[in-house]
Amino acid sequence: MADSTVVFITGVRRGLGKALAQAYLARPNHIVIGSVRNTSDSNVQELKDTPTATGSKLHLVSFESTSSTDVAKAVKEIEAAGIAHIDLVIANSGVCPEPSTIAALDVNDVITAFNVNTAGPLILFQGVRHLLEKSKKSPKWVSMSSAAGSIGHLELFNAAPVAAYGISKAGMNWLTMAIHSAEKWLTAFSIHPGLVQTDMGNKGAQMIGLEIAPNTLEESTSKTIAVIDKASRESTSGKFINTIDDTEIPW
């Protein structure tokens, strides 16, 4: 495992997390750690059955992303399996409460979204930081954010109706920038993977009058990985990148 590239992706049961895990498994000598709430869930079986390239394999861990004890236990399990470092973390797990006007916004939706989308990545970072430090391949932290979290383009992206989601993703972006600032050895950045044809993405598309999200899962996956592959501390860290057109989004 010492020569393998180790990728940790949260939320691989479905959607973009699953597609990213499958794409990395198709690369030789990649160990993909994927988190799900329940490793025996029937929806996880397709991922378990994914063909792998030479030297690659999947390692699933189960935890609730908002539980520091769950994450710590999963990290110990990873280390017990002989995985002594992590090269790339993609903090992908997330929730999007139902849309609402600001006037009618339920503060409990804000709290729920913040716990999962902002506090969850913080707990994850604290749990895996020491394994990222052991990487010999320029370690990377990638926050799966959303254009809805951009304060600078809030009006342009018409994000007010998804306030709970947007607030939590803005918090995630702040956390990402703080990681970049505090950890000079790490490449840390946020990405907007497009408005993707997943359950969450299609719901968001319908909110703005589209029948279906404009970006296919295949397009988002390939372009996201392309951005991650070329990312460096000098060129990418501390930025918020739209992976679809490889442009920078204002915080």
As annotated, the active-site residues are 165, 169
**What is the rounded CA–CA span in Å between residue 137 and residue 157?**
36
CA–CA distances in Å: residue 73 to residues 82, 89, 178: 15, 17, 25
Structure-derived torsion over alpha carbons of residues 246, 7, 221, 28, reported in degrees to the nearest 10: 110
CA–CA distances in Å: residue 222 to residues 119, 139, 226, 247: 28, 20, 6, 16
10 Å CB burial of residue 65 (0-12, 13-18, 19+) is buried
Q: Other C-beta atoms within 10 Å of 158: how many?
A: 14
Using an 8 Å Cβ cutoff, are 190 and 196 in contact? no
Angle (CA) 51-37-82 rounded to 5° is 60
**What is the rounded CA–CA span in Å between residue 119 and residue 126?**
11
The crossing angle, in degrees rounded to 10, of helices 68-80 and 120-133 is 30
